[in-house]
């Protein structure tokens, strides 16, 4: 009851990605085309991994979940942004804003943890190959999957809990095209210094630590691969390089957004746009184009449907 009484603002006005009608129309067309081409590709990756008997290794199990998380993540911001491009007044309710923020960090946190799990999978496969089948058994894979979903939920619920305690009684204009922590807490009618520190710790510091840990782990793995003389050396290097590319594309923008004090910079919207709309759809595609087994399986699947 106390929270409800202190919250006067019932909706937020989104100022959008840009105020230029011409740029809005251009971005609308480009994002729509991109969305309609890449999103079905992500679902094709999921279907291929689920149906092809040759893609049962933990690596592909986690890749399928990466494609699912990225596709789900893209639904949080992009569809509403496309609708808002066609609307004169871009409004989101208080509850809708909190809901969007929750799922944004729930799926984003889960994906960050999934990349940690994928790094663990590659480490065991390359550095402890004799123990791989024992350690990364189906039960362990599902347990890790459950853990990363739970981790994403805990991360997100902390964000939401901190925001729900803030009173919103004044300005309601969000200088963005979606609801996120940095913009929302600036509208609170109270001192937010402590909340900012907690938010930076929960999002920024954890993101930075995961990023540095992942880079260190892949450095160890790649050094180990270089010293080996096995036949699968090139394949292992290609897989690890792809993982590093995905880590850079995902964690780079997140670190920029969440590890600094919540001050507005001119490039914030552009970074957020790529982080929430473009990169989530590209990640599985980047991986697939560098993985011969998945590409071959997708061709077999598509050829079956063409024959039918």
Full DSSP string of 231-275? TTHHHHHHHHHHHHHHHHHHHHHHHHHHSS-S---TTHHHHHHII
Euclidean distance between CA atoms 205 and 29, whole angstroms: 36
CB 178 within 8 Å of CB 77: yes
The vertex-237 CA angle with 235 and 239, nearest 5°, equals 70
Asked whether residue 167 is assigned to any structural domain, the reply reads: yes
Distance in angstroms (rounded) separating the CA atoms of residues 264 and 87: 25
Flag whether pLDDT at 3 surpasses 50.
no
Strands, DSSP E only, in the chain? 11-14, 91-93, 173-174
Task: Give the pLDDT mean for 192-201.
Answer: 86
Q: Is residue 2 part of a domain?
A: no
Closest by CA position to 89, among listed 23, 12, 20, 28: 12
Euclidean distance between CA atoms 23 and 33, whole angstroms: 15
pLDDT at site 142: 96
pLDDT number for residue 294: 85
Domain count, the chain: 1
Nearest-CA neighbor of 124 among 220, 238, 32?
Answer: 220
- 200: domain CATH number? 1.20.1070.10
So what's the pLDDT on residue 103? 96
Residue 76 included in any domain: yes
Residue 101 lies in a domain: yes
pLDDT of residue 261: 67
Q: What's the pLDDT at 306?
A: 62
Residue 2's pLDDT is what?
43
Assess if residue 90 is contained within a domain. yes
- φ and ψ at 97, to 5 degrees? -65, -45
The pLDDT confidence band at residue 16, using thresholds 50, 70 and 90, is confident
User: How far apart (Å, rounded) are the C-alpha atoms in residues 189 and 170?
Assistant: 7
116-150: pLDDT as tens digits: 999 999 899 888 888 999 999 999 999 999 999 99
CA 269 – CA 16 distance, rounded (Å): 9
- In the predicted model, is pLDDT for residue 7 greater than 60? no
β pairing state of 11-14 and 91-93? antiparallel
Asked whether the beta carbons of 13 and 90 are under 8 A apart, the reply is yes
Q: Which domain holds residue 233?
A: 11-301
Of 29-38, 145-154, 164-173, 177-186, give the range with the top mean pLDDT.
145-154
Domain assignment present for residue 307? The answer is no
84 within some domain: yes
How many whole angstroms separate alpha carbon 4 and alpha carbon 9?
10
Task: Decide if 5 is inside a domain.
Answer: no
Cα 155 to Cα 137: distance, rounded to the nearest angstrom: 27
Where is average pLDDT lowest: 23-32, 72-81, 281-290?
A: 281-290
Question: Across residues 188-211, what is the average pLDDT?
Answer: 87
- 278-302, pLDDT tens digit by residue? 888 777 777 777 778 888 888 888 7
Please check the confidence at residue 92 and state whether its pLDDT lies above 90: yes
* Residue 137, CA distances (Å) to 58, 141, 175 in order: 8, 6, 47
* Average pLDDT over every residue of 64-68: 91
């Amino acid at each position: 009851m106390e929270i409800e009484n202190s919250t006067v603002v019932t909706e937020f006005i989104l100022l959008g990605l840009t105020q230029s009608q011409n740029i809005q129309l251009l971005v609308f067309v480009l994002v729509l085309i991109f969305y309609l081409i890449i999103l079905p590709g992500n679902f094709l990756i999921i279907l291929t991994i689920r149906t092809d008997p040759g893609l049962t290794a933990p690596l592909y199990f986690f890749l399928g979940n990466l494609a699912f998380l990225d596709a789900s993540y893209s639904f949080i911001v992009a569809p509403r942004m496309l609708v808002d491009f066609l609307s004169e007044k871009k409004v989101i309710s208080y509850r809708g804003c909190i809901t969007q923020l929750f799922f944004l960090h729930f799926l984003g946190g889960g994906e960050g943890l999934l990349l940690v799990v994928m790094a663990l999978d590659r480490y065991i496969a390359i550095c402890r190959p004799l123990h791989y089948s024992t350690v990364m058994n189906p039960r362990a894979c599902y347990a890790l999957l459950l853990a990363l979903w739970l981790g994403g939920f805990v991360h997100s619920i902390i964000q939401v809990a901190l925001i729900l305690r803030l009173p919103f009684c004044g300005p309601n204009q969000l200088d963005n095209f979606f609801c996120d922590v940095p913009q929302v807490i600036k509208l609170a009618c109270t001192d937010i210094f402590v909340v900012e520190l907690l938010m930076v710790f929960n999002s920024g510091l954890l993101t930075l630590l995961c990023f540095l840990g992942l880079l260190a782990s892949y450095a160890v793995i790649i050094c180990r691969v270089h010293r080996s003389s096995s036949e699968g050396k090139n394949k292992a290097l290609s897989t690890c390089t792809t993982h590093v590319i995905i880590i850079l594309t995902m964690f780079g923008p997140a670190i920029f957004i969440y590890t600094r004090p919540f001050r507005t910079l001119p490039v914030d919207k552009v970074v957020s746009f790529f982080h929430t709309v473009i990169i989530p759809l590209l990640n599985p595609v980047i991986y697939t184009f560098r993985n011969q087994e998945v590409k071959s399986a997708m061709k077999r699947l598509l050829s079956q449907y063409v024959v039918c």
